[in-house]
Amino acid sequence: MQTHYSIESLQKILQQQVRLGKTIGLVPTMGNLHAGHISLVEEAKKQCDYVVASIFVNPMQFGRGEDLDAYPRTLQEDIAKLEIAACDALFAPSATEMYPQSLDSQTVVSVPELSNRHCGAARPGHFDGVATVVSKLFNIVRPDKAIFGLKDFQQYLIICKMVKDLCFPIKIIGMETLREHSGLAMSSRNSYLPGEQKRNAADLYQQLLKAQADIAAGADNFSALEARATHDLKQAGIEVQYFSVCNAENLEPAISTDTELVILAAVYVGNTRLIDNIRCTRKL
């Protein structure tokens, strides 16, 4: 696997691959890779001839007081994992390589409506940072396909809308969330959790499963389901930022005539913010 720190170096190699007629896959990450990330690389290998993973802790998507400085950076360990997964190239740029004129003068890509709800409401500007850096990565790599995990379902929908609206010739593929044995969604931030907090964090998935089962059984008082889950999580020592039953296409609050739903949740376990979701289909 070749590691590239500059746009010029990466593009030189990619141009060679395109001339050879190879299809390009992209797996964008912020590093501190776990099995969930590696599963995305493995899927990209199945679907494309040449796979690029990116590792970039994007300062543009972190708000004031968030964990940008503390976010785990494990580049050498990540390189070893990507090599085992037979990834073809790693793009690991610096912030100055990606934003040479500083963030204050950087053009911003913004996806309206979808970006303003849930995590967008809790983290103003976060999804503008995501959309901007992903747009830059798409233009740098010019992949045929890009693979994203569905743990951040809101992000996935935002990227899909951005690709459609801006006419990127890229197929976006969403991969199901990988979970630990407890059901806790794999996340780079799980490393922040000491043992007892990590055990408690698994309660979030149990509440998602419970709400999913109730909806499948015919429950349509969604606000009551949200309130119950919020109460039960609080009793378990978990602070709920939101637990919301939504229309799976636009992420607006679900109504009784919706058939495709997603339950989105963001919580704090101690000082660690975790997100998760589960999807469900209703029969009317």
Q: From the centroid of its chain, how far is CA 212?
A: 21
251: nearest Cα among 111, 110, 114: 114
Can you give the C-alpha Rg of the chain in angstroms? 19
d(CA 27, CA 9): 18
d(CA 108, CA 131): 8
- In sequence order, what are the residues at sequence separation of 6 or more whose Cβ sits closer than 8 angstroms to the Cβ of residue 253? 222, 244, 245, 246, 247
DSSP state of 61: G
Which neighbouring-strand residues pair with 269? 272
Is residue 126 annotated as a catalytic residue, yes or no?
no
| The residue type at 246 | C
- Strand 24-29 and strand 171-175: the pairing is unpaired
| The residue type at 76 | Q
Catalytic residue among 4, 37, 118, 126: 37
Active centre residues (catalytic): 37
